């Protein structure tokens, strides 16, 4: 209820002593040269052994067989 009655103060960039040419997109030292969407791979394997514990044991066994763990 207190949050509903709270007075919210709105601050803008002019309220701070900030050089606006050094902030935001124009002021960022990082430049993105390109972006891409990763290729979605199909496949995978569902493990449902009836319980979380049994599924975890099956997953651990499969990872051990594959030499990952």
**7 vs 20: CA distance, rounded Å:** 28
Q: Give the pLDDT of residue 8.
A: 93
pLDDT in tens, 17-63: 888 788 888 788 888 889 999 998 888 889 999 999 999 999 999 99
Residue 44, in any domain of the structure: no
Residue 1, in any domain of the structure: yes
Residue 14, in any domain of the structure: yes
Q: How many CB atoms lie within 10 A of CB 59?
A: 14
Residue 17, in any domain of the structure: yes
The structure's pTM equals: 0.41
Domain range for 13: 1-28
Residue 10, in any domain of the structure: yes
Residue 51, in any domain of the structure: no
Residue with tokens 């791979």: 41
Residue 38, in any domain of the structure: no
> How many separate domains does the chain show?
1
Q: Give the pLDDT of residue 24.
A: 80
């Amino acid at each position: 209820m207190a949050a509903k009655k709270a007075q919210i103060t709105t601050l803008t960039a002019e309220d701070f002593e900030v050089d606006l040419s050094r902030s935001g997109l124009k002021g960022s030292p990082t430049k993105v040269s390109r972006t891409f969407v990763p290729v979605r791979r199909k496949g995978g394997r569902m493990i449902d052994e009836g319980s979380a514990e049994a599924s975890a044991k099956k997953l651990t066994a499969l990872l051990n067989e594959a030499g990952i763990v």
